[in-house]
Every structure is written in C-alpha cells, then in structure tokens.
Amino acid sequence: MINEEELKKLREISIRIRRHIVTMTGLAKSGHPGGSLSAADIITVLFFKKMRIDPKNPRWKERDIFILSKGHATPVLYAALAEAGFFPVEELKNFRRLRSHLQGHPDRLMTPGVEMSTGSLGQGLSVANGVAMAFKIDKTPRKVYVLIGDGELQEGQIWEAAMTAAHYKLDNLTAIVDYNGLQIDGPVSKVKEVAPVAEKWKAFGWEVKEIDGHDFKQIIEALDWADGVRGKPAVIIAHTLKGKGISFMEGKVKFHGVPPSEEEMKKALEELDKQEREIRK
C-alpha cells in the first residue's frame, strides 16, 4: 500500500524527470524525448519506490538490477540516476556532448548506475536472463527488471529470450513493456503489428499483467504482484502515451527521435511548472 503523501512525492519526482528529459534533449538538439516521457512514471516507481539501490555505492553487491533494453531512451534513465544521486543533476546538461559520460546510448563503463550498454534493440532481455540465472545460482534475493519498447517486440531475439526465461523458471525477473504504440517509422500496428501482446507472453510461459503505465498505484501494485509470482517470469504490459506530460508531444510520432526546439522547450517547461503547482496545492 502507498499513502497520498508518498504518491504526491512520486508525482513530483516524475515531473522533475520529465523536466530533465525536455531540457537535456532540447539543449543537446538531439535525443529521444517521446519514449523517455512515456516511461517516466514507470522509471520513477522503480528507482524511488521499488528497487534496492545505493547511489553512493553503484556496485553494491546486494543491489537490484535495471536494464534499459530500449537503449535510445537514455534521457529518462539519466534523469532518474541524477535525481537518485548517482551523479550531480548539473551534469545532465552534458547529455550527448563529446567526451561526456552521458552519451546517446547507455555505457556501463562510463556512467554510474548503468548496468548494461544497450542500443541494439532486442538484446536487453537476454542479458537480464543471464543476470537472473546467476542470482538463482548464488541463491540471492536480488531482482532483475528490464524495460522493453513495444516496437522492440518485433525483434526475434526478444522471443528467444522469453522462451529461455520461462524454461529456466526465472521468477526473479520482471519485464516491463512500454506499450505506447509508436516507433520511429510510425504506429507499431502499421510498421509490424505485435498484438495480441498479452496472449503472446502467456503462450511463451510468462505470467502477465496489463496496467495503465501512468497510474502510480497500478505500477506499484503490478511490481508487488510480480514479486509474488513463483516458478515463472513475470511481464507487466504498461499501456502508456508517447510524449506523456507535454501536451503538444503526446501521441506524436515526430517526437520519438526529434528534440524540442528552443520555443517548444520553453513551452514544455511551463506546462510542467503548472503541473507541479497543481500537485502542491
């Protein structure tokens, strides 16, 4: 259970994360704001409610593991890591700059808190399987979480990994699908239909739960539900909105990989400021 004060805090954090996403991509004039904004609420719950992490000791041996399989969505990951204290928030302004440790795709050797270097879609779940299997061998209670894009489900490796996870009964693994319906070339349903998504995961031997990926209570309840699944891996299909939180970005495929202009950035930040004031009333 979560009380209203905790919910308020999570909402405030998610707004700060969205503010960072807009600012980072706007200043860099590069990046992927749309799918970062759609995942912001999920990431907020993982990093500020659910996962066992220690920002002062990024390689803490008892930490849970998060893998951003949709590696282009680094703005949301970097924003969460900075807000959590893995590195100073001020460093976010160096996003995508030459020699910065905040590159367009995550690099585990460069950035504190990044567990896997991703970018080639489809690979994150396979690595998550390996980590989860190692945790089983070590008999540790540590958990593995992997965020997958819905367009990423078009990759065959995802389904090979899905079979593997079910075969080895990796119940310490939770996959989350950011199901926002849009990818760089247009609607997922037109590029290559992935539906029915829930039925596919069930057929591959997973326990499945569908939620509103912007409802904090549902996200928390789903992650708690996944903890209780035994003998199978669990997947949460989170129905989200591309560009969530910024009116002119919501549901617009353009903002998958196009940053806001200076004028759009100003407008977006004004909207987020208004949302924050509403929460604090």
Other CB atoms within 10 A of residue 251 CB: 15
Quick check: 1 pLDDT over 80? Answer: no
Structure tokens at 117: 């270097």
Quick check: 118 pLDDT over 80? Answer: yes
Rounded mean pLDDT, 161-180:
98
Rounded mean pLDDT, 48-59:
98
In angstroms, the CA 177 to CA 201 distance is 11
Rounded mean pLDDT, 148-176:
98
In angstroms, the CA 47 to CA 52 distance is 8
- How many helical (H) and strand (E) elements, i.e. helices and strands, does the chain have? 10, 7
The pTM of this model reads 0.97
Structure tokens at 257: 């990989």
Rounded mean pLDDT, 64-78:
98
Quick check: 139 pLDDT over 80? Answer: yes
Closest CA to 214 of 179, 233, 239: 239
Q: What is the pLDDT of residues 245-276, one digit of tens each?
A: 999 999 999 999 999 999 999 999 999 999 99
Report residue 74's pLDDT band, with 50, 70 and 90 as the boundaries: very high
Cα distance between the two ends of the chain: 23
> What does the radius of gyration of the chain's CA atoms come to, in whole angstroms?
18
Average pLDDT over the chain, rounded to an integer: 97
Report residue 16's pLDDT band, with 50, 70 and 90 as the boundaries: very high
* Domain definitions of the chain by residue range: 4-280
In angstroms, the CA 281 to CA 202 distance is 43
Helix, strand, or coil (residue 3): coil
Report residue 23's pLDDT band, with 50, 70 and 90 as the boundaries: very high
Answer yes or no: are the C-beta atoms of 109 and 116 closer than 8 Å.
Answer: no
Distance of alpha carbon 23 from its chain centroid, rounded?
18
Q: What is the pLDDT of residues 186-243, one digit of tens each?
A: 999 999 999 999 999 999 999 999 999 999 999 999 999 999 999 999 999 999 999 9
- Cis upstream peptide for 58 (omega within 30°): no
Structure tokens at 169: 């009964």
More confident residue, 2 or 134: 134
- Residue 112 pLDDT: 97
CA distances from 243 to 33, 36, 56, 137, 220 (A): 7, 8, 31, 40, 21
- Residue 241 pLDDT: 98
Rounded mean pLDDT, 163-187:
98
Strands 207-212 and 144-149: unpaired
In angstroms, the CA 97 to CA 44 distance is 25
Rounded mean pLDDT, 104-117:
97
Sheet-wide strand order for 234-239: 65-68, 144-149, 173-179, 234-239, 207-212
- Residue 2 pLDDT: 86
DSSP 72-93: GGHHHHHHHHHHHTSS-GGGGG
Looking at domain 4-280, its CATH architecture is 3-Layer(aba) Sandwich (3.40)
Percent of the chain whose predicted confidence (pLDDT) is above 70: 100
In angstroms, the CA 275 to CA 281 distance is 10
- Residue 281 pLDDT: 79
